[in-house]
Amino acid sequence: MMQHHLILRVVVKILAPAIILFGLYVQFHGDYSPGGGFQAGVIIAAAFIIYGIVFGLKQAQQVLPGWVVHKLIALGVLIYAGTGIYSMMAGYTFLDYDGLSPAYPTGGQHNGILLVEFGVGVTVTGAMVTIYYAFAGRPPRISDEEW
Amino acid sequence: MMFAVAAIALFASMILVMIRLFAGPTLYDRVIAVNVFGTYTVLFIGVVGFLAGRPDFLDIALLYAIINFVGTIAVLKYFRYRAIGDLRPLTRKEETGL
């Protein structure tokens, strides 16, 4: 549909990896600067959404198929809850990050918050891309004469 | 002082862009007004960040630039092709068979 928008295609091809890189920066630098899992998930999803808008839904789903996105949503929740279950297994309360490394609690807290935010980011990426696929995958029902 | 003057100037420009947004006679005037308003928001966040002594506001400004770009492309594609995905809208004949 958008084959003749050459400038847009080239710009998006250059910009999409940079957007994903910025999302990873927001994800993993979030404890020193503004950021966190939710914001990073939205930014990474924005890269896939702009790719799908410009190159077509079919090509976006070759990069990130629908079943992978559905698995990503569940995987993020699994990482989040798995961190809590692990600290329960280690004898601490649910999501008590000290349980990740009882010998060095500060390091455990650092790794714990990174893991939990990573789970949030994966789930939000999957949810946002799923919303885009759901909206873009159905035919629009408004015909040209009615505008 | 310099950043305060820049912030006031940006704010005045944003009000002018809002006037164009509501008064714009055609759709494309409004789309460009929204896009320019987003650009001014990016600059405003940067200036306010330096005004408050927190340069890490630049991350938020960068995020606004990305979302502004994606949103403008999405709106323009929707109004050009009446679809956000690959599928064209059904004509009345295809939809109702009449």
Is the pLDDT confidence value at B84 over 80? no
Helix (H) or strand (E) run with residue A102 in it: none
Lowest mean pLDDT among A42-51, A106-115, B11-20, B61-70: A106-115
Cβ-defined contact of A140 to B67 (cutoff 8 Å): no
Q: What is the pTM of this model?
A: 0.85
- Chain A environment of B72 (Cβ under 8 Å): none
Residue A141 near residue B89, CB atoms below 8 Å: yes
pLDDT digits (tens, 9 = 90+) for A116-125: 999 999 999 9
pLDDT digits (tens, 9 = 90+) for A64-104: 998 999 999 999 999 999 999 998 988 888 888 888 888 88
Residue of B nearest to A51 (CA): B70
Interface test with B, best of A143, A144, A145, A147 (most B CBs within 10 A): A143
Is the pLDDT confidence value at A142 over 70? no
Cβ-defined contact of A145 to B89 (cutoff 8 Å): no
Q: Could you give the percent of chain B with pLDDT greater than 90?
A: 56
Query: For residue A145, what pLDDT band results from cuts at 50, 70 and 90?
Result: low
Is the pLDDT confidence value at B95 over 70? no
Mean pLDDT of chain A: 88
Residue of B nearest to A143 (CA): B91
Phi and psi (nearest 5°) for A125? -60, -50
Query: For residue A143, what pLDDT band results from cuts at 50, 70 and 90?
Result: low
Query: For residue A37, what pLDDT band results from cuts at 50, 70 and 90?
Result: confident
Q: Does A81 touch chain B (CB under 8 A)?
A: no
Residue A129 near residue A57, CB atoms below 8 Å: no
Is the pLDDT confidence value at A128 over 90? yes
Residue A109 burial class via C-beta count within 10 angstroms: exposed 0-12, middle 13-18, buried 19 and up: middle
DSSP A138: S
Count residue pairs from A and B with Cβ separation < 8 A. Answer: 84
Q: How many CB atoms lie within 10 A of CB A103?
A: 6
Q: Does B62 touch chain A (CB under 8 A)?
A: yes
The residue-averaged pLDDT of A53-62 equals 89
Cβ-defined contact of A140 to B83 (cutoff 8 Å): yes
What single-letter amino acid sits at B57? Answer: F
Is the pLDDT confidence value at B88 over 90? no
The residue-averaged pLDDT of A45-51 equals 94
- Chain A environment of B86 (Cβ under 8 Å): 1, 56-58, 136
Residue A12 pLDDT: 92
Q: Where are the domains of chain A?
A: 6-137
